[in-house]
Structure 1
Amino acid sequence: MRAIYSFLMLLATPWLYARLYWKGRKNPLYRARIAERFARAPLPVKEVDVWVHAVSLGEVIAAIPLLDALLAEGRTLFVTTMTPTGAERLKGRFGERIPHAFIPYDLQHPMRRFVRALNPRLVLVMETELWPNLLMEVKRAGIPMVLANARLSERSFANYRKLRFFFKPLVGVFSSILAQSPADARRFEALGASADAVEASGNIKFDLQTPKALDPEFSAIKARLGGARLTLMAASTHAPEEAMLLDAFKTLRAELPEAMLWIAPRHPERFDSVATLCREAGFQTGRRSQPESLNASCEVVVLDSLGELPGWYGLSDYAFVGGSFARTGGHNVLEPIALKVPVFSGPHVHNFMAICETLLREEALEIVADAVSLMQAVLRLHNNPGTRNARVQNASRVLEANRGAVAKHLAVVNGLLENRQPIPPDSGAL
């Protein structure tokens, strides 16, 4: 099966090049570092303690508490991502302390070159990245692997189970699978992972650390916009969520004329189109990238920057986390919760189902059906400060009660590094 998969990936190579050039029209990073996608660029470091693969922005955010802990222990790290948004968030958070490269496409020989050149002591893969050539080349090199903060939704499991013969060898290569929940652990075992390798260790997203103080630059911008105005943050939005929110926002402004909407699109290539959409909807629109446009006349602000979301969350009064009106599956609701901001989400949260269910049980999150319902819920909470404060306190308790997964991950990683047993070289057959 691996030979067939690798052959199909090879056939797709021209399309992969074309896709990079196409996406590079709006994000130059796709073209600027194209050699990395095929393991043709020199690596900034070699022979690190831990290579962490976090495919995109969400996985990078999830990995931050663990990366902090590993750095605190003096471990040398290297991080790969697939997307520029993930790379930018990593750079914004860690600067030069953690070197980065874009991971090669899952082609057999480029992946082999990359693994041999980097030669880490341990590979840590975030969440559910089961790439056949990546996993088999790491196994071939005799390097232990951990699937960290592992999750497997019911929907994904139903699809993977149909191809269990293909996925069983993949989940079997991990020395340890640290699942977010007992349900995730059971699904990995049912897919073919050894019960001895699987542990429900909790979700490291709960270990997110909040900044000790808000960036003065953000506070100064909020003051220019009118510091006392009610601010609703719509974060990590996807089409058509912005159009829905803008239309419904008019109903909120009818009740609260000074209300302001901040929109942070999930993907940078949509920054311009979202700003145009806001203006066409009739709103006075500012952009983070254009400081001169940010003043008290702004009704909507497009946060067209990368790596700054926590700072803007901290200055907002309410937060809606996107990808949940669109059928994307939602994004991380714990970021605003960690900053004591009341959070709303749409109904489509299958990527964060366990977290959302926990929060809902404790009345720490509100799910709304659509954008109009969101504006009504914001107004209702705004008019009931006691309910708002209770929501924030409930959320803080949930966050605190579920911390501890990073310590469990750290114990496993340190155990593998300090007691590493050579893994027999493998032919790479799948």
Structure 2
Amino acid sequence: MLIVYNAIFAISLILFLPFILIKSLTDKRLRYRIIDRFWPKTIKKEDYILFHVSSFGEAKTILNIKDYFEKSLNRDIVFSVFTDTAHKFLNKEHAVLSPIDLYPLYFKMFRHPPKMALFFETEIWPSYIHFLKKRGVKLVLINARMSRSTYKTFKRFRFLFGTAIRQFDLVMAKSVTDSKKFKQFNPNTIVCGNIKQFKERRTAKSNTKSQFLIDSDKPILVLASFHIEEFDLAVRITSALSDVFFIVIAPRHLEDVQDLERELKKRGIDFTKRTAKQKPKDVLILDSMGELEDVYSISKACIIGGSFNEKLKGHNPIEPLVYNNFTICGPYMESFEEELNQLKALKLIEQVSSLDEILRALRKPRDVDASPYFKNLEYILNCYIINTKNILTKN
């Protein structure tokens, strides 16, 4: 079946290649190191552990725990990443851009296969997984999650994805719900919890506000990871609350910044872009990478994007809570359903469904102390590390 998959993939690629090349002329993300997608860089390192992630957020999570894994497994980590943003973020690390999922390309990528490969969350690439398994590499899926739509897809194409999932020596799921789905494909599945919940708080820099040229005494509200489908809501929130808060809007995708600018201008809202390096008055667009956590360290409240449109599934609410932000999310948080229920029970997050509810909550944002919650999360990291080490040393 893998041969059929690769044949269909190759034929589809040939048919769509002209479109891809034309599209890449105007799409920076698609154009980013496009040659590497078809002729990947070779990993020259030996005796290493491979971490494969997709997005910028996943890369941040793995980098946060990288040192723990390296120390425990006594080997260097090499990153394989799928998106341009993740690759740019990890450019100071050992990181390669993963190719399109054609089996022959991995011969070029791996001069020396890793001792173990850890795939993150939903990164199920049949050719990639089978290539490594064929070479005796220990395979682990960490923080495994499976949405309802993905579950339906995997069941429908069980002959392909089910076979790939069975190749993992161990699947460590982020929740009981996810583990039940994965167990239907691989009985070697356990629950460790959401590794994204494990987060060490950075010491806030004394000059963080001046770093962003913020000269306002108003508390800071962050609209974090808002998608283009949510820009209208972001603008309405900004229009209603800019007299109360200094507002930072962080678009999920930087290529959508121009659309956000247009929406703000329609409402007559003055704003400054972070990359302009100018002192903002009331609204700052965070059109830069890797600075959102710094903003959380000085903000009072946060609204989680990706949760106000039924096409989306929410984003991680943990990072703002590390810094005791009063945190709000929308009704669509499927990717973090169990974590959300836990946080709501502890009164650490509020879930709303309308602009009126957002405004009502933010007129008097309450103080939040999430430190007891985070002190109890070390067991999650330990679960991942101990079980990974057991697989590595298992004959």
Normalising by structure 2, what TM-score?
A: 0.92
Alignment check: 8 A CA contact 2:228 2:259 kept: no
Residue in 2 that maps onto 1:234: 223
Residue in 1 that maps onto 2:186: 193
Residue 209 of structure 2 is aligned to residue 219 of structure 1: yes
Whose relative contact order is higher, 1 or 2, with alpha carbons under 8 Å and at least 6 apart? 1
Per-residue deviation at 1:258? 4.7
One-letter code of the match for 2:267?
Answer: A
State the distance in 2 between where 1:103 and 1:20 align: 18
One-letter code of the match for 2:105?
Answer: P
State the distance in 1 between where 2:339 and 2:228 align: 24
Alignment check: 8 A CA contact 2:140 2:171 kept: yes
Q: Which moved more, 1:370-379 or 1:12-21?
A: 12-21
State the distance in 1 between where 2:143 and 2:159 align: 24
State the distance in 1 between where 2:316 and 2:287 align: 19
Alignment check: 8 A CA contact 1:343 1:365 kept: yes
One-letter code of the match for 2:68?
Answer: A
Residues 404, 89 of structure 1: alpha-carbon distance in 2 compared, 3 angstrom cutoff: farther
Residue in 2 that maps onto 1:361: 345
Per-residue deviation at 1:272? 2.6
State the distance in 2 between where 1:122 and 1:204 align: 19
Per-residue CA deviation, residues 6-57 of structure 1 (Å, 9 max, x unaligned), is 1221123243574366356353x643522221234344x4224211001112
Runs of 4+ in 1 over 4 A off after TM superposition: none
Alignment check: 8 A CA contact 2:40 2:97 kept: no
Q: Which moved more, 1:70-79 or 1:278-287?
A: 70-79
Residue in 2 that maps onto 1:52: 51
Residue in 2 that maps onto 1:317: 300
Unaligned segments of structure 1, at least 5 residues: 382-387, 422-430
How many residues of Structure 1 are paired with residues of Structure 2 in the alignment? 392
Residues 131, 259 of structure 1: alpha-carbon distance in 2 compared, 3 angstrom cutoff: same
Residue in 1 that maps onto 2:164: 170
Residue in 2 that maps onto 1:19: 20
Per-residue deviation at 1:158? 3.5
State the distance in 2 between where 1:398 and 1:16 align: 49
Alignment check: 8 A CA contact 1:79 1:100 kept: yes
One-letter code of the match for 1:101?
Answer: V
Percentage of matched positions with identical amino acids: 24
Alignment check: 8 A CA contact 2:51 2:78 kept: yes
State the distance in 1 between where 2:378 and 2:153 align: 31
Alignment check: 8 A CA contact 1:344 1:367 kept: yes
Alignment check: 8 A CA contact 2:32 2:84 kept: no
State the distance in 1 between where 2:66 and 2:374 align: 19
Written as runs of structure 1 = structure 2, the 5 A alignment for 1:42-191 is: 42-43=42-43, 45-73=44-72, 74-91=74-91, 96=92, 98-114=93-109, 116-190=110-184
The one of 236, 254, 273 aligned to 1:268 = 254
Residue in 1 that maps onto 2:284: 301
Instruction: Write 1 or 2 for the structure with the bigger share of helix.
Output: 1
Residue in 2 that maps onto 1:352: 336
State the distance in 2 between where 1:7 and 1:313 align: 47
Per-residue CA deviation, residues 223-263 of structure 1 (Å, 9 max, x unaligned), is x433421221011110121221212332234xxx2522211
Normalising by structure 1, what TM-score?
A: 0.85
Per-residue deviation at 1:87? 2.0
Residue in 1 that maps onto 2:361: 377
State the distance in 2 between where 1:81 and 1:371 align: 37
Alignment check: 8 A CA contact 1:204 1:403 kept: no
Residue in 2 that maps onto 1:243: 232
Unaligned segments of structure 2, at least 5 residues: none
Per-residue CA deviation, residues 149-174 of structure 1 (Å, 9 max, x unaligned), is 11123443234223333332111101
One-letter code of the match for 2:248?
Answer: W
Residue 201 of structure 2 is aligned to residue 210 of structure 1: yes
Q: Which moved more, 1:11-20 or 1:156-165?
A: 11-20
Per-residue deviation at 1:221? 4.1
